[in-house]
Amino acid sequence: MSGWAALSLGHSHPAVIDALKKQADELMHVTNDAYTVPQVMLGELLIEHSPFDRVYFMNSGSEAVELAMKIARKYGQQRLGGAFGFISAERGFHGRTMGALAAGGTPRYSAPFEPLPPGFDHVPFNDIAALKAKTTAETCAVLLEPTQGEGGVFVADDSYVREVRAWCDEKGILLVLDEVQTGMGRTGSLFAFEQYGIVPDIVAIGKGLGGGVPVSAVLFKEDVGLLEAGEHGTTFGGNPLLTAAAYGAMTWLLANDLPAVAAESGAYLMDGLRRMAQAFPNVTEIRGRGLLVAIAFDKDIAGDMVQACVDRGLLTNPVKPNALRLTPPLTVSKEEIDQAVWIVGQALAEVVVGKR
């Protein structure tokens, strides 16, 4: 689980601990009217390793998505004749704040909190025709996850992402990618969008960025960033303690090429799961990218599987009633992967065959 895919380097990694200790002795917090050294260092690192030139720090993934949407709304207001609408995907997940819930495509999360903010349309994922049909003069942006995480681990097709980019260009609207879960190496490249050969206008990141501390960010090109001082802010955004920890985590992640490691480990995990699954006809699919992986079943046994795995020392998540999600740290070893595959096999034997 790695704490909902946040512990990119595993529990209490020395790179994070050392940075936290050093920074705690120096400066834990200060008004966000002032820049701090760790904040600038993390910002520069992210800019250096991305195609963007602006970064704005937040605390959680939801907040990063909210800010991404505010940037798109302001762009729509000033550059697209007042266009304010978002098109996002059915089954998508963007967080639990009101705007993020409105963008999300899972009524189970949002229905109890209606009415939601207006201006959000949803289309089936991986369906370019549906997206084109929904686009109107009021659309300011398309908001998507490159792989839908909470929705069940569904990877966007290569052609889909490229066609969405081309469509946004044609219409002059923004492409906002929510890489809160897929970003920072998890899917096998620092950002998932790199594997599609496209660049979004705005990207939201979080989770693994902090290596276990709550820090998120929005990255964008200067020409779409029309927000002025005072139009957005949060007390702890860019806090020195948290950005120092994230800088420690990210420098270690980059120095050890963890995105490439995640690609290799992910392939090894999926291969192991597929081989194990040959003994279990109930497994219908192993899907995912990098170390964001789901095992799908022909019936709703994910809850029972979670318990059977916990009993054997493995934390997983029933991402759908019939699918189990695995999001190990990017530092997971081959031996640990072998162990996890073995445990999932044992759990399956118990749940579907009744063998302990």
Residues engaged in binding ligand PLP (CB under 6 A): 4, 60-62, 65, 93-95, 145, 149-150, 178, 180-181, 206
Query: Up-side HSE of residue 6: CA atoms within 13 Å toward CB?
Result: 17
SS3 labels along 160-199: HHHHHHHHHHHHCCEEEEECCCCCCCCCCCCCHHHHHCCC
SS3 258: helix
**Residue 37 vs 116, nearer CB to ligand PLP:** 116
**Residue 36 vs 187, nearer CB to ligand PLP:** 187
**Residue 142 vs 276, nearer CB to ligand PLP:** 142
Residues recognised as catalytic: 93, 178, 207
Residue 154 pairs in a beta bridge with: 148
Measured distance CA(273)–CA(275) in Å, rounded: 5
Beta carbon of residue 99, minimum distance to ligand PLP (angstroms, whole number): 11
Please give the biggest Cα pair distance in the chain.
Answer: 64
* Closest by CA position to 95, among listed 225, 208, 205, 16: 205
Instruction: Give me 2's structure tokens.
Output: 């790695």
Residue of minimal CB distance from ligand PLP? 61
**Residue 200 vs 345, nearer CB to ligand PLP:** 200
DSSP 8-72: TT-TT-HHHHHHHHHHHHH-S---TTS--HHHHHHHHHHHHTSS-SEEEEESSHHHHHHHHHHHH
**Residue 96 vs 132, nearer CB to ligand PLP:** 96
Beta carbon of residue 335, minimum distance to ligand PLP (angstroms, whole number): 28
Beta carbon of residue 295, minimum distance to ligand PLP (angstroms, whole number): 19
